[in-house]
Amino acid sequence: MSVKLQAIPVVYFEEGAVIIAHCVPLDVSSCGHDLQEARRNIRDAVAGFIETCEEMGTLEDVLQESDFRWSGREHLT
């Protein structure tokens, strides 16, 4: 299954000298020393999470539990 996610909500906040990025619906977090690095890292973390869910056969269940909606065959919003 090839999945393309659109408009994933991510919350950014500072914790000391680090920017934390948290994708609340999937409960995936990452961080960076600046906003650009935090954005890059959260994209990688979410992609890795989705890939792992696909491999385990749990992706559809995880996305439904996270209130993502199908929009076409491959897109979720």
Question: Is 5 among the domain residues?
Answer: no
**Structural domain range at position 54:** 31-66
pTM of the model: 0.83
Cα–Cα nearest to 22, from 33, 3, 31: 31
* AA identity, residue 20: I
Total tally of structural domains belonging to the chain: 1
Question: Is 10 among the domain residues?
Answer: no
Question: Is 40 among the domain residues?
Answer: yes
pLDDT in tens, the chain (77 residues): 566 667 789 999 999 999 999 999 999 999 999 999 999 999 999 999 999 999 999 998 998 898 877 666 555 65
Quote the pLDDT of residue 67. Answer: 83
Quote the pLDDT of residue 1. Answer: 54
Question: Is 13 among the domain residues?
Answer: no
Quote the pLDDT of residue 39. Answer: 96
Quote the pLDDT of residue 3. Answer: 66
The CA distances from residue 57 to 3, 43, 74, in Å, are 13, 21, 16
Question: Is 20 among the domain residues?
Answer: no
Q: Decide: helix, strand or coil at residue 64.
A: helix
The CA distances from residue 43 to 19, 31, in Å, are 14, 11
